[in-house]
Amino acid sequence: MTKSKIKDQKSIIQNHNARVSIIGLGYVGLPLAIRFSQEGFAVTGFDIDEEKIQKLKASKTYIKHIDAEKIKTIIRNGFKATSDFSEIADVDVIIICVPTPLGIHNEPDLSFIDNTLESIKPYIKEGQLLILESTTYPGTTEEKIVPNIENAGFIVGENFFIGYSPEREDPGNLDYTTKTIPKIVSGYTENCLEMTKILYDHIVDQTVPVSSTRVAEMTKILENIHRAVNIGLVNELKMVTDKMDIDIYEVIKAASTKPFGFTPYYPGPGLGGHCIPIDPFYLTWKAKEIGMNTRFIELAGEINTAMPTYVIQKMGEALNSVKKSIKGSLILVLGLAYKKNVDDLRESPSLEIIDKLYELGANVQFCDPYFEKIPITRKYSFTLKATTLNAKSIRSADLVLLATDHDAFDYRLIQENANLIVDTRGRLNHFPKVIKA
């Protein structure tokens, strides 16, 4: 591509004329597709999940906090959902928003990225801008994406452009949206960065350019390491203060009155979601290559993954105090989602706790306003329908476990009727029958 062609390509993006494709229409890709469509871009969404495609075609939503009305609107504006990757040939921009989970040995599983690259390879063409949004270890764009595109015969930065711009979605956060969260942008070359920045400047209030794709990759990882470590720290301290008969929630609340140098993080029954429990280990894995250890990440991982077991132990102690065992007890688990007020089950510790309770011989019931039954996940397939939360169902349980403190729960009703409560969220601090876990 000549310099003037590169300029043409930039002006296509500059002038809203770029046809944008989003690959992976989940928690990240769908809101992004909506944003581009809202700004007048012609958007094509790709997913390998036919069910998602059919729902979108029918103007239906599959993510609670994304309104069907929004999907109706973007479809009216020309948004198209497909699983046919040949349509990649017709777009100017390709944004990849696929999952980057961990393998069973905590190693990065980049198979979704690999498969995406494989699927689009026959259809990519000169002048396209490809951007990865998935969280991944520093070096992924340079070491994996760029060589892949160059093997296909392109010269990155000259006749094909590659950027990295990590997603910062926070499902359930009502204060910030895709538009108002500043967006880190980076590129393999100056031209790549410039195009990536021009593109996102259309849909977010602020883009933050950084000097390399590695820096952008590390930025996202740091954000999640910071959370994983701080949550690990309070989980460890919770166990210590519990033995000292000190309420960690009261301590955190008091410390939060310091107007500088302290940020509150809260303990819980374990980490959940697609980011915090997973992303940090991408750096751990990569650091091994250069002979380095990431000991804070590993310690946080160890403590956070031990939390469901700690909760079970606290439940056992609570039942023991009234001469009962877990085996044979009716246990009502409140909350399936990994955090409050969302319908997101990914990596939720509630499932692990339910699994352990079954193993120990408990009768398990659950209640979550966002789930009528427990969906089948990669790890677990329970066949359990939600119990209605009322005085009778609460009273009949030997123990109520507050696993996720959805605001929709009637806490007064719970407190008035429960025989015994184990609270993993510090929500019911001042109730006599509450054991904190």
Catalytic (active-site) positions = 275
| Cβ atoms of 268 and 424 closer than 8 Å | yes
Least separation in angstroms between CB 35 and its own copies: 17
Name the CA dihedral angle for 142, 171, 424, 108, rounded to a multiple of 10 degrees: -20
Least separation in angstroms between CB 284 and its own copies: 9
Q: Decide: is 261 part of the binding site for its own copies (CB under 8 A).
A: yes
* Residue where the block lists tokens 């973007």: 74
Q: Which is nearer to its own copies, 230 or 415 (CB)?
A: 230
Q: Decide: is 233 part of the binding site for its own copies (CB under 8 A).
A: yes
**266, 296, 380, 411: residue in contact with its own copies (rule CB under 8 A):** 296
Task: Supply φ then ψ for residue 217, to 5 degrees.
Answer: -65, -45
Name the CA dihedral angle for 229, 234, 239, 242, rounded to a multiple of 10 degrees: 180
Length of the chain: 437
Q: Decide: is 260 part of the binding site for its own copies (CB under 8 A).
A: yes
Least separation in angstroms between CB 254 and its own copies: 4
Beta carbons within 10 angstroms of residue 286's beta carbon: 21
| Separation of alpha carbons 155 and 158, rounded Å | 5
Least separation in angstroms between CB 293 and its own copies: 8
Q: Decide: is 432 part of the binding site for its own copies (CB under 8 A).
A: no
Q: Decide: is 214 part of the binding site for its own copies (CB under 8 A).
A: yes
**58, 68, 89, 255: residue in contact with its own copies (rule CB under 8 A):** 255
**64, 125, 179, 226: residue in contact with its own copies (rule CB under 8 A):** 226
| Closest C-alpha to 335, from 382, 295, 367 | 367
Stretch that binds its own copies, among 67-75, 147-155, 215-223, 354-362 (CB under 8 A): 215-223
Residues 107-166 close enough to bind its own copies by CB under 8 A: 138-139
**103, 122, 147, 182: residue in contact with its own copies (rule CB under 8 A):** 182
Beta carbons within 10 angstroms of residue 57's beta carbon: 13
**102, 287, 306, 330: residue in contact with its own copies (rule CB under 8 A):** 287
Least separation in angstroms between CB 99 and its own copies: 20
| Closest C-alpha to 223, from 271, 279, 268 | 279
Least separation in angstroms between CB 403 and its own copies: 21
* Residue where the block lists tokens 């990431």: 294
Under the phi-then-psi rule, with left for phi > 0, alpha for psi from -120 to 50, and beta for the rest, what region is 350?
A: alpha
Residue type, position 400, single letter? V
Residue type, position 83, single letter? S
Q: Decide: is 309 part of the binding site for its own copies (CB under 8 A).
A: no
**23, 43, 74, 229: residue in contact with its own copies (rule CB under 8 A):** 229
Q: Decide: is 303 part of the binding site for its own copies (CB under 8 A).
A: yes
| Cβ atoms of 113 and 100 closer than 8 Å | yes
Helix (H) or strand (E) holding 111: helix 111-120
DSSP 288-312: HHTT---HHHHHHHHHHHTHHHHHH
Q: Decide: is 89 part of the binding site for its own copies (CB under 8 A).
A: no
Residues of the shown chain interacting with its own copies in the complex, contacts defined by CB under 8 A:
138-139, 168, 170, 173, 175-176, 180-182, 184, 206, 208, 210-212, 214-216, 218-219, 222-223, 225-227, 229-230, 232-233, 236-237, 239-241, 243-247, 250-252, 254-255, 257-263, 283, 286-287, 290, 292, 294-296, 299, 303
